[in-house]
Chain A
Amino acid sequence: MPPASEPQGELIVAALKTRLEGITAGSDFWYTPHKVLRFAAWCNACLDPSLGSASEPATIYTLSPDDEESGENTYTGTQSLMHIDLALAQRFEPAGDVDPFNQPDPDRWKVQQRMRNDVRKRIRGDLKVGNTALLVQIPLVDMSAEETFVKGWAVVFMRIEVLYIFEDAA
């Protein structure tokens, strides 16, 4: 007997991870991520400063699926809205980087913007997430100093919403 097919939510998150792993620095993108992880909640264990080099600092993207809203029912399934939170992090170590409200190096913001731009461009380049969904969107991004300051890293938080039909037969 063949095994049951993977749940649609799993397929969507796996497709998003593959999509992010395909980011390659060049004329389209700034940074190639060294790792794309799936974690229940972003934490210290997600960061590995040993990756990368001086010219290509460690860049690690982490996907953390959140809750899901169920909407209208159809004859074949239920409209569902899946929430996924992303943490984008790149090694960033300017001298004297200790105070989030008086950061000595404005480049942290630039790095944050570049990572955000890379991921946004990559995700919006396939709004149906490999034909697993109806639409993906990014309703919230946080790069504020007081919320994202991590010593030694530039960090961005992004929320992704994926609208899809949860098929009854799935």
Chain B
Amino acid sequence: MTEDRAVAAPEPEEEAQTVDVPNVPLEPAPDPLMAAFLRFRRKARRLSGRDVA
């Protein structure tokens, strides 16, 4: 007994495409004061044994 099964033709493989990703940061850069403040915050977290990365 043969099954009447439709066999789909293989899909042609998609060609790899090159996409230009603009070099834009995900978040706006903080101002220099905020950057200094956040450096301090990271230091404080590191010294308390957290955020060691």
Decide if the interface of chain A is mainly helix, strand, loop or mixed.
Answer: strand
Q: Are A43 and B37 within 8 A (Cβ)?
A: yes
Question: Which residues of chain B have C-beta atoms less than 8 A from A148's C-beta?
Answer: 36
Closest Cβ neighbor of B37 among chain A residues:
A42
Tell me the A9-58 residues at the B interface (CB within 8 Å).
41-44, 46-47
Q: Say whether B47 contacts A140, CB under 8 Å.
A: yes
Complex partner residue of B44 from A41, A42, A44, A159, CB under 8 angstroms: A159
Report how many residues on chain A are interfacial, defined by Cβ distance under 8 Å.
22
Contact at B40–A147, with CB atoms within 8 Å?
yes
> CB within 8 Å of B: which of A127-145?
139-140, 142
CB distance from A57 to the nearest CB of B (A): 17
Q: In the complex, how many angstroms separate the beta carbon of A8 from the nearest chain B beta carbon?
A: 21
Contact, CB under 8 Å: A147 / B33: no
Contacts of B45 in A (CB 8 A): 66-67, 83
Question: Does A142 lie within 8 Å of B43, measured CB to CB?
Answer: yes
B40→A142 contact, CB < 8 A = yes
**Is B48 a contact partner of A150 (Cβ separation < 8 A)?**
no
Q: Looking at the assembled complex, report how far the CB atom of B38 sits from the nearest CB atom of chain A, in whole angstroms.
A: 6
- Chain B residues within an 8 Å CB radius of A157: 36-37, 40
Q: Would you call A66 and B41 a contact (CB within 8 A)?
A: yes
Binding site for A on B (CB under 8 A): 30-34, 36-41, 43-45, 47-48, 50
**Pairs across A and B, CB under 8 Å, 28 listed:** A41-B34, A41-B37, A41-B38, A41-B41, A42-B33, A43-B30, A43-B31, A43-B33, A43-B34, A44-B31, A44-B34, A64-B37, A66-B44, A83-B48, A85-B40, A85-B44, A87-B37, A139-B47, A139-B48, A140-B44, A142-B40, A142-B43, A147-B36, A148-B36, A150-B32, A150-B33, A157-B36, A157-B40
